[in-house]
Protein backbone atom coordinates (compact mmCIF):
# COMPACT_ATOMS: atom_id res chain seq x y z
CA UNK A 1 0.00 0.00 0.00
CA UNK A 2 1.56 3.31 -1.03
CA UNK A 3 2.18 6.03 1.54
CA UNK A 4 -0.61 8.30 0.31
CA UNK A 5 -3.28 5.62 0.65
CA UNK A 6 -1.93 4.63 4.04
CA UNK A 7 -2.16 8.21 5.31
CA UNK A 8 -5.68 8.65 3.94
CA UNK A 9 -6.85 5.44 5.62
CA UNK A 10 -5.18 6.49 8.89
CA UNK A 11 -7.00 9.80 8.59
CA UNK A 12 -10.48 8.26 8.66
CA UNK A 13 -9.84 5.72 11.42
CA UNK A 14 -11.47 7.67 14.25
CA UNK A 15 -14.31 8.83 12.03
CA UNK A 16 -15.14 5.25 11.05
CA UNK A 17 -15.22 4.17 14.70
CA UNK A 18 -17.50 7.10 15.50
CA UNK A 19 -19.87 6.23 12.66
CA UNK A 20 -19.98 2.62 13.77
CA UNK A 21 -20.84 3.59 17.34
CA UNK A 22 -23.56 5.97 16.19
CA UNK A 23 -25.12 3.26 14.04
CA UNK A 24 -24.80 0.70 16.83
CA UNK A 25 -26.63 2.98 19.24
CA UNK A 26 -29.41 3.65 16.73
CA UNK A 27 -30.29 0.30 15.12
CA UNK A 28 -33.28 -0.27 12.87
CA UNK A 29 -34.92 -3.51 11.80
CA UNK A 30 -34.96 -4.83 8.23
CA UNK A 31 -36.79 -2.63 5.72
CA UNK A 32 -37.45 -0.04 8.44
CA UNK A 33 -34.01 1.59 8.25
CA UNK A 34 -35.20 5.10 7.33
CA UNK A 35 -32.96 6.98 9.76
CA UNK A 36 -29.97 4.81 8.87
CA UNK A 37 -30.51 5.41 5.14
CA UNK A 38 -30.75 9.15 5.77
CA UNK A 39 -27.50 8.98 7.78
CA UNK A 40 -25.76 7.22 4.89
CA UNK A 41 -27.03 9.76 2.36
CA UNK A 42 -25.88 12.67 4.55
CA UNK A 43 -22.40 11.22 4.90
CA UNK A 44 -22.11 10.60 1.14
CA UNK A 45 -23.23 14.18 0.47
CA UNK A 46 -20.56 15.46 2.87
CA UNK A 47 -17.91 13.43 1.06
CA UNK A 48 -18.98 15.05 -2.19
CA UNK A 49 -18.67 14.05 -5.83
CA UNK A 50 -20.79 10.92 -5.37
CA UNK A 51 -23.98 10.39 -7.35
CA UNK A 52 -26.59 9.06 -4.92
CA UNK A 53 -29.34 6.69 -6.05
CA UNK A 54 -32.23 5.07 -4.17
CA UNK A 55 -32.96 1.90 -6.17
CA UNK A 56 -35.36 0.25 -3.72
CA UNK A 57 -37.01 1.02 -0.40
CA UNK A 58 -34.44 2.12 2.16
CA UNK A 59 -31.39 0.99 0.16
CA UNK A 60 -28.76 3.49 -0.98
CA UNK A 61 -26.28 3.39 -3.87
CA UNK A 62 -23.37 5.74 -4.46
CA UNK A 63 -21.50 6.10 -7.75
CA UNK A 64 -17.94 7.36 -7.45
CA UNK A 65 -16.30 7.88 -10.84
CA UNK A 66 -12.62 8.18 -11.61
CA UNK A 67 -10.92 10.55 -14.03
CA UNK A 68 -11.64 8.51 -17.17
CA UNK A 69 -13.84 5.62 -18.33
CA UNK A 70 -13.05 2.12 -17.15
CA UNK A 71 -14.55 -0.91 -15.43
CA UNK A 72 -17.18 -0.70 -12.70
CA UNK A 73 -16.41 -2.47 -9.43
CA UNK A 74 -19.10 -2.69 -6.75
CA UNK A 75 -18.74 -3.19 -3.02
CA UNK A 76 -21.59 -4.04 -0.67
CA UNK A 77 -22.34 -3.22 2.97
CA UNK A 78 -25.58 -4.12 4.76
CA UNK A 79 -27.09 -1.97 7.52
CA UNK A 80 -30.15 -3.59 9.12
CA UNK A 81 -30.27 -4.78 12.75
CA UNK A 82 -31.89 -7.69 14.58
CA UNK A 83 -34.81 -8.04 17.04
CA UNK A 84 -32.55 -8.69 20.05
CA UNK A 85 -32.34 -6.95 23.42
CA UNK A 86 -28.70 -5.90 23.78
CA UNK A 87 -26.74 -7.12 26.80
CA UNK A 88 -23.23 -5.79 26.11
CA UNK A 89 -23.29 -2.91 28.59
CA UNK A 90 -21.22 -0.88 26.12
CA UNK A 91 -21.29 2.93 26.26
CA UNK A 92 -22.59 2.88 22.68
CA UNK A 93 -25.19 0.15 23.31
CA UNK A 94 -28.51 0.23 21.51
CA UNK A 95 -30.87 2.99 22.56
CA UNK A 96 -33.83 1.14 21.05
CA UNK A 97 -35.36 -1.57 23.26
CA UNK A 98 -35.43 -4.97 21.58
CA UNK A 99 -33.33 -3.93 18.59
CA UNK A 100 -29.59 -4.51 18.27
CA UNK A 101 -26.75 -4.60 15.77
CA UNK A 102 -25.74 -8.15 16.67
CA UNK A 103 -24.11 -9.16 13.39
CA UNK A 104 -21.64 -6.38 12.52
CA UNK A 105 -23.73 -4.55 9.94
CA UNK A 106 -23.03 -1.25 11.72
CA UNK A 107 -19.34 -1.89 11.15
CA UNK A 108 -19.87 -2.86 7.52
CA UNK A 109 -21.61 0.43 6.81
CA UNK A 110 -19.03 2.48 8.68
CA UNK A 111 -16.20 0.76 6.78
CA UNK A 112 -17.84 1.46 3.43
CA UNK A 113 -18.35 5.12 4.31
CA UNK A 114 -14.66 5.26 5.26
CA UNK A 115 -13.73 3.54 2.02
CA UNK A 116 -15.79 6.08 0.06
CA UNK A 117 -14.08 8.94 1.92
CA UNK A 118 -10.61 7.68 0.98
CA UNK A 119 -11.43 6.83 -2.64
CA UNK A 120 -13.08 10.22 -3.19
CA UNK A 121 -9.63 11.73 -2.65
CA UNK A 122 -8.08 9.34 -5.16
CA UNK A 123 -10.55 9.74 -8.01
CA UNK A 124 -7.95 11.50 -10.17
CA UNK A 125 -5.75 8.42 -9.92
CA UNK A 126 -8.10 5.71 -11.19
CA UNK A 127 -10.16 4.91 -14.26
CA UNK A 128 -13.67 3.55 -13.98
CA UNK A 129 -16.33 3.60 -11.30
CA UNK A 130 -16.68 2.40 -7.73
CA UNK A 131 -20.29 1.42 -7.03
CA UNK A 132 -21.16 1.69 -3.32
CA UNK A 133 -24.00 -0.68 -2.44
CA UNK A 134 -25.68 -0.07 0.92
CA UNK A 135 -28.11 -2.96 1.28
CA UNK A 136 -31.25 -2.88 3.39
CA UNK A 137 -33.02 -5.86 4.89
CA UNK A 138 -30.27 -8.47 4.57
CA UNK A 139 -31.35 -10.27 7.73
CA UNK A 140 -34.97 -10.82 6.71
CA UNK A 141 -36.12 -12.85 3.68
CA UNK A 142 -36.40 -12.08 0.85
CA UNK A 143 -33.49 -9.73 1.65
CA UNK A 144 -32.68 -6.42 0.10
CA UNK A 145 -30.35 -7.52 -2.70
CA UNK A 146 -33.06 -8.64 -5.13
CA UNK A 147 -34.88 -5.33 -4.94
CA UNK A 148 -31.65 -3.40 -5.40
CA UNK A 149 -30.76 -5.46 -8.45
CA UNK A 150 -34.22 -4.99 -9.93
CA UNK A 151 -33.81 -1.25 -9.30
CA UNK A 152 -30.62 -1.12 -11.37
CA UNK A 153 -28.01 -1.10 -8.60
CA UNK A 154 -25.86 -3.69 -10.42
CA UNK A 155 -26.32 -2.41 -13.97
CA UNK A 156 -22.96 -2.35 -15.73
CA UNK A 157 -21.03 -3.82 -12.80
CA UNK A 158 -18.03 -5.93 -13.84
CA UNK A 159 -17.13 -7.38 -10.42
CA UNK A 160 -18.51 -7.11 -6.90
CA UNK A 161 -16.97 -7.68 -3.47
CA UNK A 162 -18.30 -7.72 0.07
CA UNK A 163 -16.75 -7.82 3.53
CA UNK A 164 -18.24 -9.36 6.66
CA UNK A 165 -16.87 -8.77 10.14
CA UNK A 166 -16.58 -12.21 11.75
CA UNK A 167 -16.27 -12.66 15.51
CA UNK A 168 -15.15 -16.35 15.46
CA UNK A 169 -12.04 -15.13 13.59
CA UNK A 170 -9.42 -13.23 15.59
CA UNK A 171 -8.87 -9.60 14.64
CA UNK A 172 -6.07 -9.30 12.10
CA UNK A 173 -7.00 -12.51 10.32
CA UNK A 174 -8.81 -12.70 6.98
CA UNK A 175 -10.63 -15.64 5.40
CA UNK A 176 -10.99 -15.80 1.63
CA UNK A 177 -12.05 -19.03 -0.05
CA UNK A 178 -11.54 -19.18 -3.85
CA UNK A 179 -14.84 -21.04 -4.35
CA UNK A 180 -17.38 -22.05 -1.71
CA UNK A 181 -17.72 -19.35 0.93
CA UNK A 182 -21.14 -19.52 2.61
CA UNK A 183 -24.00 -21.98 2.28
CA UNK A 184 -27.46 -21.60 0.85
CA UNK A 185 -30.09 -21.16 3.54
CA UNK A 186 -33.79 -22.05 3.52
CA UNK A 187 -36.64 -22.22 6.03
CA UNK A 188 -39.42 -24.74 6.59
CA UNK A 189 -42.68 -24.85 8.54
CA UNK A 190 -44.73 -27.91 9.48
CA UNK A 191 -48.18 -27.62 11.04
CA UNK A 192 -49.27 -30.90 12.60
CA UNK A 193 -53.06 -31.20 12.68
CA UNK A 194 -54.40 -33.62 15.27
CA UNK A 195 -57.50 -33.73 17.45
CA UNK A 196 -57.62 -31.82 20.72
CA UNK A 197 -58.89 -33.26 23.95
CA UNK A 198 -58.55 -33.68 27.69
CA UNK A 199 -55.17 -34.67 29.03
CA UNK A 200 -56.92 -37.32 31.11
CA UNK A 201 -58.47 -38.93 28.03
CA UNK A 202 -55.64 -39.16 25.50
CA UNK A 203 -57.32 -42.04 23.66
CA UNK A 204 -59.99 -39.62 22.45
CA UNK A 205 -57.43 -37.21 21.00
CA UNK A 206 -54.71 -37.27 18.37
CA UNK A 207 -51.83 -35.59 20.16
CA UNK A 208 -49.87 -33.26 17.83
CA UNK A 209 -47.15 -32.73 20.44
CA UNK A 210 -46.25 -36.42 20.63
CA UNK A 211 -46.39 -36.63 16.84
CA UNK A 212 -44.32 -33.45 16.47
CA UNK A 213 -41.65 -34.88 18.74
CA UNK A 214 -41.41 -37.90 16.45
CA UNK A 215 -40.96 -35.58 13.48
CA UNK A 216 -38.18 -33.61 15.18
CA UNK A 217 -36.37 -36.82 16.14
CA UNK A 218 -36.63 -38.33 12.68
CA UNK A 219 -35.43 -35.16 10.93
CA UNK A 220 -32.09 -35.73 12.65
CA UNK A 221 -31.63 -38.86 10.52
CA UNK A 222 -31.90 -36.90 7.27
CA UNK A 223 -28.38 -35.48 7.25
CA UNK A 224 -26.84 -38.39 9.16
CA UNK A 225 -28.24 -41.18 7.00
CA UNK A 226 -29.46 -39.81 3.68
CA UNK A 227 -26.86 -37.25 2.59
CA UNK A 228 -23.38 -38.14 1.36
CA UNK A 229 -20.96 -37.48 4.27
CA UNK A 230 -18.68 -35.44 2.00
CA UNK A 231 -21.50 -32.95 1.40
CA UNK A 232 -22.06 -30.24 4.01
CA UNK A 233 -25.67 -29.87 5.14
CA UNK A 234 -27.69 -28.74 8.16
CA UNK A 235 -31.32 -29.40 9.09
CA UNK A 236 -32.20 -27.62 12.31
CA UNK A 237 -35.49 -27.30 14.19
CA UNK A 238 -35.53 -23.96 15.96
CA UNK A 239 -39.20 -23.50 16.92
CA UNK A 240 -41.87 -25.79 18.37
CA UNK A 241 -45.16 -24.16 19.40
CA UNK A 242 -48.13 -26.04 20.84
CA UNK A 243 -50.65 -25.83 23.65
CA UNK A 244 -51.77 -23.20 26.13
CA UNK A 245 -52.95 -25.25 29.14
CA UNK A 246 -51.54 -28.17 31.13
CA UNK A 247 -54.93 -29.86 31.07
CA UNK A 248 -55.56 -29.64 27.33
CA UNK A 249 -54.15 -31.65 24.45
CA UNK A 250 -53.99 -29.06 21.66
CA UNK A 251 -55.33 -29.65 18.19
CA UNK A 252 -52.24 -28.37 16.39
CA UNK A 253 -48.49 -28.00 16.77
CA UNK A 254 -46.17 -25.91 14.62
CA UNK A 255 -42.56 -26.88 13.94
CA UNK A 256 -40.19 -24.50 12.13
CA UNK A 257 -36.52 -24.48 11.31
CA UNK A 258 -33.78 -23.82 8.84
CA UNK A 259 -31.59 -25.73 6.42
CA UNK A 260 -28.18 -25.04 4.92
CA UNK A 261 -26.28 -26.69 2.10
CA UNK A 262 -24.17 -26.03 -1.00
CA UNK A 263 -25.15 -28.69 -3.53
CA UNK A 264 -28.36 -28.14 -5.54
CA UNK A 265 -29.21 -31.85 -5.46
CA UNK A 266 -28.86 -31.92 -1.69
CA UNK A 267 -31.18 -28.91 -1.53
CA UNK A 268 -33.80 -30.73 -3.58
CA UNK A 269 -33.45 -33.86 -1.43
CA UNK A 270 -33.83 -31.96 1.83
CA UNK A 271 -36.90 -30.07 0.65
CA UNK A 272 -38.60 -33.27 -0.50
CA UNK A 273 -37.66 -35.48 2.42
CA UNK A 274 -38.70 -33.09 5.21
CA UNK A 275 -42.19 -33.11 3.74
CA UNK A 276 -42.22 -36.87 3.29
CA UNK A 277 -41.02 -37.53 6.82
CA UNK A 278 -43.56 -35.16 8.34
CA UNK A 279 -46.52 -36.44 6.34
CA UNK A 280 -45.55 -40.08 6.87
CA UNK A 281 -45.31 -39.76 10.64
CA UNK A 282 -48.55 -37.80 10.78
CA UNK A 283 -50.33 -40.41 8.69
CA UNK A 284 -49.03 -43.23 10.89
CA UNK A 285 -50.60 -41.61 13.95
CA UNK A 286 -53.89 -40.44 12.48
CA UNK A 287 -52.93 -36.80 11.91
CA UNK A 288 -52.34 -34.64 8.87
CA UNK A 289 -49.90 -31.79 8.23
CA UNK A 290 -49.36 -28.69 6.17
CA UNK A 291 -45.79 -28.29 4.96
CA UNK A 292 -44.10 -25.23 3.47
CA UNK A 293 -40.48 -24.94 2.36
CA UNK A 294 -39.05 -21.57 1.29
CA UNK A 295 -35.76 -21.16 -0.52
CA UNK A 296 -34.25 -18.02 0.95
CA UNK A 297 -30.64 -17.28 -0.14
CA UNK A 298 -28.45 -19.20 -2.55
CA UNK A 299 -24.90 -20.17 -1.65
CA UNK A 300 -22.15 -17.54 -1.76
CA UNK A 301 -19.69 -18.89 -4.34
CA UNK A 302 -16.60 -16.78 -4.95
CA UNK A 303 -15.26 -16.28 -8.46
CA UNK A 304 -11.71 -17.74 -8.42
CA UNK A 305 -10.22 -14.96 -10.52
CA UNK A 306 -11.74 -12.18 -8.43
CA UNK A 307 -10.86 -13.97 -5.20
CA UNK A 308 -7.30 -14.41 -6.49
CA UNK A 309 -6.86 -10.67 -7.04
CA UNK A 310 -8.30 -9.84 -3.61
CA UNK A 311 -6.17 -12.52 -1.91
CA UNK A 312 -2.97 -11.30 -3.56
CA UNK A 313 -3.79 -7.75 -2.55
CA UNK A 314 -4.57 -8.72 1.04
CA UNK A 315 -1.37 -10.73 1.40
CA UNK A 316 0.62 -7.81 0.05
CA UNK A 317 -0.82 -5.52 2.73
CA UNK A 318 -1.13 -7.76 5.78
CA UNK A 319 1.23 -10.67 5.07
CA UNK A 320 0.49 -14.19 3.88
CA UNK A 321 0.17 -15.53 7.42
CA UNK A 322 -2.82 -13.25 8.03
CA UNK A 323 -4.81 -14.35 4.97
CA UNK A 324 -6.21 -17.85 5.27
CA UNK A 325 -8.15 -20.11 2.95
CA UNK A 326 -10.45 -21.86 5.41
CA UNK A 327 -13.31 -24.28 4.98
CA UNK A 328 -16.68 -22.81 3.93
CA UNK A 329 -19.08 -21.78 6.68
CA UNK A 330 -22.72 -22.83 6.86
CA UNK A 331 -24.67 -19.60 7.60
CA UNK A 332 -26.30 -17.98 4.58
CA UNK A 333 -25.86 -14.49 3.13
CA UNK A 334 -27.90 -12.33 0.78
CA UNK A 335 -24.65 -11.27 -0.92
CA UNK A 336 -25.15 -14.36 -3.08
CA UNK A 337 -27.69 -12.44 -5.20
CA UNK A 338 -25.08 -9.88 -6.22
CA UNK A 339 -22.65 -12.68 -7.07
CA UNK A 340 -25.15 -14.11 -9.54
CA UNK A 341 -25.03 -10.85 -11.53
CA UNK A 342 -21.26 -10.33 -11.66
CA UNK A 343 -18.10 -12.23 -10.65
CA UNK A 344 -17.76 -11.80 -6.92
CA UNK A 345 -15.60 -12.24 -3.84
CA UNK A 346 -16.83 -12.31 -0.24
CA UNK A 347 -14.30 -11.88 2.54
CA UNK A 348 -14.52 -12.56 6.27
CA UNK A 349 -12.64 -10.01 8.38
CA UNK A 350 -11.64 -11.17 11.85
CA UNK A 351 -13.40 -9.11 14.52
CA UNK A 352 -13.08 -11.23 17.66
CA UNK A 353 -10.45 -10.83 20.34
CA UNK A 354 -10.20 -13.49 23.00
CA UNK A 355 -7.73 -11.43 25.05
CA UNK A 356 -10.28 -8.62 25.33
CA UNK A 357 -13.15 -11.02 25.96
CA UNK A 358 -14.77 -10.24 22.59
CA UNK A 359 -15.93 -13.77 21.82
CA UNK A 360 -19.75 -13.70 21.66
CA UNK A 361 -21.31 -15.33 18.61
CA UNK A 362 -23.18 -13.49 15.92
CA UNK A 363 -26.86 -12.91 16.74
CA UNK A 364 -26.08 -13.11 20.47
CA UNK A 365 -27.22 -10.34 22.83
CA UNK A 366 -23.58 -9.92 23.97
CA UNK A 367 -22.15 -9.60 20.45
CA UNK A 368 -19.52 -6.94 19.86
CA UNK A 369 -16.46 -6.45 17.69
CA UNK A 370 -12.87 -5.40 18.20
CA UNK A 371 -12.97 -2.02 16.48
CA UNK A 372 -9.42 -2.48 15.20
CA UNK A 373 -11.11 -4.64 12.56
CA UNK A 374 -12.71 -1.53 11.04
CA UNK A 375 -9.34 -0.11 10.02
CA UNK A 376 -8.36 -3.45 8.50
CA UNK A 377 -11.61 -3.54 6.54
CA UNK A 378 -11.12 -0.06 5.11
CA UNK A 379 -7.50 -0.78 4.15
CA UNK A 380 -8.48 -3.97 2.40
CA UNK A 381 -11.49 -2.44 0.66
CA UNK A 382 -9.61 0.55 -0.76
CA UNK A 383 -6.70 -1.49 -2.05
CA UNK A 384 -8.80 -4.39 -3.36
CA UNK A 385 -11.10 -2.05 -5.27
CA UNK A 386 -8.19 -0.24 -6.88
CA UNK A 387 -6.55 -3.56 -7.79
CA UNK A 388 -9.79 -4.83 -9.36
CA UNK A 389 -10.13 -1.60 -11.35
CA UNK A 390 -6.63 -2.13 -12.72
CA UNK A 391 -7.45 -5.71 -13.73
CA UNK A 392 -10.64 -4.64 -15.47
**Of the candidates 341, 387, 315, 328, the residue with the CA atom closest to the CA atom of residue 177:** 328
- Residues 6+ away with beta carbon under 8 Å from 71: 127, 128, 129, 158, 159, 388, 389, 392
Kindly name the residue from 28, 33, 78, 80 that is annotated as catalytic.
80
- Residues 6+ away with beta carbon under 8 Å from 143: 135, 137, 296, 297, 334, 337
How far CA 115 is from CA of 9, 35, 40, in Å, comes to 8, 21, 13
**Of the candidates 371, 370, 366, the residue with the CA atom closest to the CA atom of residue 93:** 366
Q: How far is CA 168 from the centre of its chain?
A: 15
Q: Is 138 a catalytic residue?
A: yes
Contact 61, 75 (CB under 8 A): no
Q: At what angle do helices 105-120 and 3-25 cross, to 10 degrees?
A: 140
Kindly name the residue from 138, 263, 298, 333 that is annotated as catalytic.
138
DSSP state of 29: B
For residues 192 and 28, what is the distance between their CA atoms, to the nearest angstrom?
35
Q: Is 370 a catalytic residue?
A: no
**Of the candidates 155, 160, 156, 144, the residue with the CA atom closest to the CA atom of residue 56:** 144
Alpha-carbon dihedral angle through residues 312, 315, 320, 323, given to the nearest 10 degrees? -90
Contact 134, 46 (CB under 8 A): no
Strands 233-242, 180-182: pairing kind:
unpaired
For residues 161 and 386, what is the distance between their CA atoms, to the nearest angstrom?
12
Contact 29, 387 (CB under 8 A): no
**Residues with catalytic function:** 80, 138
Amino acid sequence: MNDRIEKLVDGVRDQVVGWRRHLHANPELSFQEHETAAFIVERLQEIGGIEILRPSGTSVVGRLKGNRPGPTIAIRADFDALPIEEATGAAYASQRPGVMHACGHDGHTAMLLGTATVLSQLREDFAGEIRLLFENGEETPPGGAKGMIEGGAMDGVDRVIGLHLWSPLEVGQLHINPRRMMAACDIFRIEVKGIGGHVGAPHRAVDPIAIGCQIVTNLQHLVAREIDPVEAAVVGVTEFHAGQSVGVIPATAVISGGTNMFDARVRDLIERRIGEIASGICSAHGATCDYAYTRVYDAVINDPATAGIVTTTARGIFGSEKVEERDPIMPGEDFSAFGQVAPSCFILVGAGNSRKGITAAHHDARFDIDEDALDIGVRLSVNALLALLRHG
